Amino acid sequence: MAVVLIIAIMAVMTLPSLHEHMAAREIDIIARRFIAHTQFARSQAFTLGIPVRITPLTDNLWDEGWIVKSTCNDRLLRPACIERLWFSQGDIAPVYFKGGGKQFIDPHTNRRGILFNAAGAAKTTQGGFVANRLILGHDREPALERQLILGSGGRWRICDPLKDHKACR
């Protein structure tokens, strides 16, 4: 009985850290999936020589999911441009983007998303480089967050502000 009691006490004590670990894992999975989709968009833009965009699924919030597709615009040199859908990610609950994922809004068009040009660079409509971040949180662990940071060179990094505050600046 004493052994069972000790095991039960240890299980109850480790349960909160297990929940936190599971929440962190869920955030990391979504973060890595988002980065993989943006890297795919960038490589497709570079390989095919056409603009490729990753945008929120409903043009509203990143929390509702996102879509990766090629884009056709007036400046495109190809006469018959067909938009191609590659990936679509649905609702990501219980993970969410803090602030609804307000980042990555083109200041010239007010469109959310990241547009990779034919050279694979993430640029705004007016040609400026995009360097920004998205912050992921979890419904069950409000203090837990991961920052997805896109540098001007197109490299992503995942940052945990609780473990490495300086790297998240």
pLDDT at residue 127 is higher than 70: no
How many C-beta atoms lie closer than 10 Å to residue 154's C-beta?
Answer: 18
Q: pTM (2 decimals)?
A: 0.83
Distance CA 116, CA 119 (A): 8
Q: Is residue 57 within 8 Å of 88, Cβ to Cβ?
A: yes
pLDDT at 79: 59
Listing DSSP states for 111-124 in one string gives -BSEEE-TTS-BB-
pLDDT at 150: 84
Assigned CATH for 2-168: 3.55.40.10
Q: What is the largest CA-CA distance in the chain?
A: 79
How many C-beta atoms lie closer than 10 Å to residue 164's C-beta?
Answer: 10
Closest residue by Cα to residue 49 from 114, 120, 115, 113: 120
Domain limits of the chain?
A: 2-168
Q: What is the pLDDT of residues 7-22, one digit of tens each?
A: 888 877 777 788 889 9
Residue 150 host element (H or E): strand 145-150
